[in-house]
Chains A and B, each alone.
Chain A
Amino acid sequence: MIAIEDLSKRWPGADRAAVEGVSLTVPEGTSCALIGPSGSGKTTVLRMVNRLVEPSSGAIRIGGEDALRMDAVTLRRRIGYVIQEVGLFPHWSVADNVATVPRLLRWDAARVTRRVEEVLALVGLDPARFATRRPHQLSGGERQRIGVARALAGDPPVLLMDEPFGAVDPVQRGKLQEEVLRLLRQLRKTVLLVTHDVAEAVRLGDAVALLRDGRLVQHAPAAEVLARPADGFAAEFLGADRVLLRLSLFPLEAVPARPEPAPGPPLPEGATLRDALAALLDTGRSAAPLPGGGSLALADLLAFAGTPNPPAG
């Protein structure tokens, strides 16, 4: 768990605080996405959690421990850290890069080797093929995966990610997001991540925290933030397509099915409500068959999209 309380950062000589009185909690095993325009202080908040930036005031607790009282180096070794530029060490092999934290923690060699293979496999890279390669021999997507593997290697309970997929092309980004999301859920990591991309925020974050000028504007579950932006700024930042984005967070089962069949090909298994809407728009019909029988009616979908507080899907 990450608990941030009344956190502020004032840089010397700056006329306003970079971060002002931010409080938020990321429960164990969940993720929270910090979003906001540039200069909103989201990266500063993130970097205060592992003390790359020392807070001016406030408190941070990680797994119940006071992070500000711990030795900063010890603290960082317990927190996974992924950045947009990845920052692999170019003079080291992939295996050495991934082994960074285990070696800092003085694990024995056999355990380090085992762990490196394990995490490489976790991020979908074959250790036999990749362990001895050097960073310049990798594609952008592979580098990002190694960055995630390196962050996971020391098995930290908490992960900080700063624009983790910013440097890869959109096609790869979607795939990476999905895989990493699944991985982090499966490993029950507590994740705080920064992004300026609303779609990425709601896809990766169980909760979303919106910042503006160093202050927290809204902090709520992703679907909730999309359904009810706190103010005009939030609504504008989340964008006019937030309704669509919100639909992409729900499975077909979120809308009660109708028993009567509908014409046309059934919606694919695992589709979201957004996919369903797209299919309905595409076919021009008012209902689409569900993969398990019955149908989904456009009227029900519209009612759902308009419901500010839908039943949990």
Chain B
Amino acid sequence: MTNYALEAEGLHTFYGKSHILHGVSLKVEEGKITTLLGRNGAGKSTTLRSLVGLTPAREGKVTIFGQDTTRRPPFAIAGLGVGFVPEGRKIFPNLTIEENLKVPADRPGYWTIDTVYELFPRLKERRNNKGRQLSGGEQEMLSIARALLLNPKLLILDEPSQGLAPLIVREVFNIVVRMRDQGMSVLLVEQNVRMSLEVADHAYVLNDGEIAFDGSATDLSEDEDRLQSLAGVSAEVWEI
């Protein structure tokens, strides 16, 4: 029997009066990487916002580690062991790296400021630099480090590769794989389809607020037609 870290059923989410998600259902299997792909504006970020409690779904149900979290505030969901790396990294620009790392709540576990410094030596070197002085890659590392400090069992990343140099993207994906191999469940939203499918076990494609594909990552990577339509407006990150 398969265990799921996260299950979402029939999510309908609105921004004011605009209806963004039309019954999105998805599952994240424990210890696996699940990727959620889709074009710009398909509703990927909104889906994540509904899952982590930032924009609660008006209808539907979110279950994380067996608990109904649909209406829980973000900090309570994070407290269950959900690390979130938001789109655009959302580093606190007025705080230093070290201060950024002191913001997350304490959840005991392997990850501490010292161990994330071991994972990202670069952050240790620049520990006294302000968030606004960091490069995109350093910000991404800091954003991941910050989420790891919650010692999450489920890691949710929103477009971690956005705006990063290819080498750094590779490094970020390596870390995601490493986390999976250490038993973490991962939900990865990406525009970089090729690399996501390379690392993911399961894939979903979101289109206009609805799930258009639900299957193994291997199946999707062999489905040329669907990949072409996925590329769409974001052809610039299409690297097949």
- A and B assemble together: no
B→A interface (CB under 8 Å): none
